[in-house]
């Protein structure tokens, strides 16, 4: 297996993976969607709400606020020594109190400990007018995307196979003429292949081939080379998200191996 990080930002990553089967990349994608744990608001106690929105709508919006998650410090509530009562080992608490005209943002959620402060602090919750007010308390706990979408930390994880664009060598002159019609620096010629400078631009060349009704250029996919990309909601950095997802996948393979060894 070969891995090449093409782009790594706090909330986005593009990774090229080679010499691997499609099922493995898809397994990693599904782990990111459904198995990667994260914090999300699960309990809301509203003491006063005179805003224009119902309590249920505000609670729903709070549940979708990305909360910074450190899995090394937290346990699932049902696995905690407090037996689900809610303690600092499994529960993160926030309070919100705002009165008077203005917007209520996610950053107005004040944590019991500063280390859990909301980083995505400009997400609008509700607009207050006049002397309206909103006073509440929330509890955030770990969960997984398979339980509820609010616990899904990764957005749109996807992969594409690397394209193989070949042409008939006897049509080299036609190919060169065709390239002149494409956006500048989109492809280059290497042997009997066209090499894309950016594989994400593949739809562009496909549209030109279709428009010109060209039959001497073929596009196939290499089932051993993938470009994997994803974004996070801010609960994790992209680096932490991919590393933790790989750890989860490895543990599942190990667990499956142990179960298979017990077969008689």
The pTM assigned to this predicted structure is 0.84
The Cα 81–Cα 89 span in angstroms is 8
The Cα 167–Cα 72 span in angstroms is 53
Domain ranges within the chain, ordered by starting residue: 2-34+156-229, 38-151
**Which CATH architecture fits 38-151?**
Beta Complex (2.170)
The Cα 71–Cα 152 span in angstroms is 14
Nearest one of 108, 114, 116, 100 to 136, comparing CA atoms: 108
Are the C-beta atoms of residues 67 and 116 closer than 8 Å to each other? yes
Each residue's pLDDT tens digit in the chain (264 positions)? 899 999 999 999 999 999 999 999 999 999 999 999 999 999 999 999 999 999 999 999 999 999 999 999 999 999 999 988 999 999 999 999 999 999 999 999 999 999 999 999 999 999 999 999 999 999 999 999 999 999 999 998 999 998 999 999 898 999 999 999 888 889 989 988 998 888 888 899 999 999 889 899 999 999 999 999 999 999 999 999 999 999 999 999 999 888 888 776
Provide the pLDDT for residue 263.
75
Q: What dotted CATH number matches 2-34+156-229?
A: 3.30.1360.10
Provide the pLDDT for residue 212.
87
Are the C-beta atoms of residues 128 and 104 closer than 8 Å to each other? yes
Q: Could you tell me whether strands 124-128 and 154-167 are parallel, antiparallel, or unpaired per DSSP bridges?
A: unpaired
């Amino acid at each position: 297996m070969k891995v090449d990080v093409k782009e790594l930002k706090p909330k986005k990553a593009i990774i090229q993976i080679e010499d691997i089967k499609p099922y493995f990349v898809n397994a990693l994608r599904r782990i990111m969607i459904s198995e990667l744990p994260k914090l999300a608001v699960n309990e809301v106690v509203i003491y006063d709400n005179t805003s224009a929105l119902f309590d249920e709508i505000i609670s729903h919006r709070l549940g979708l606020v990305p909360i910074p998650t450190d899995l090394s410090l937290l346990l699932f509530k049902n696995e905690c020594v407090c037996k689900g009562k809610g303690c600092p080992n499994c529960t993160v608490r926030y309070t919100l109190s705002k009165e008077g005209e203005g917007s209520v943002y996610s950053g107005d959620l004040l944590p019991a400990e500063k280390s859990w402060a909301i980083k995505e602090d400009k997400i609008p919750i509700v607009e207050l007018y006049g002397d309206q007010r909103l006073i509440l308390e929330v509890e955030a706990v770990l969960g997984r995307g398979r339980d509820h979408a609010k616990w899904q930390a990764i957005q749109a994880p996807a992969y594409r196979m690397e394209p193989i664009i070949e042409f008939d060598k006897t049509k080299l002159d036609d190919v060169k003429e065709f390239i002149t019609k494409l956006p500048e620096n989109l492809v280059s010629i290497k042997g009997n292949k066209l090499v894309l400078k950016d594989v994400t631009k593949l739809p562009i060349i496909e549209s030109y081939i279709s428009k010109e009704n060209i039959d001497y250029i073929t596009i196939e996919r290499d089932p051993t080379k993938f470009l994997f990309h994803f974004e996070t909601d801010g609960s994790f950095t992209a680096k932490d998200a991919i590393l933790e997802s790989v750890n989860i996948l490895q543990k599942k393979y190990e667990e499956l191996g142990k179960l298979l060894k017990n077969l008689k």
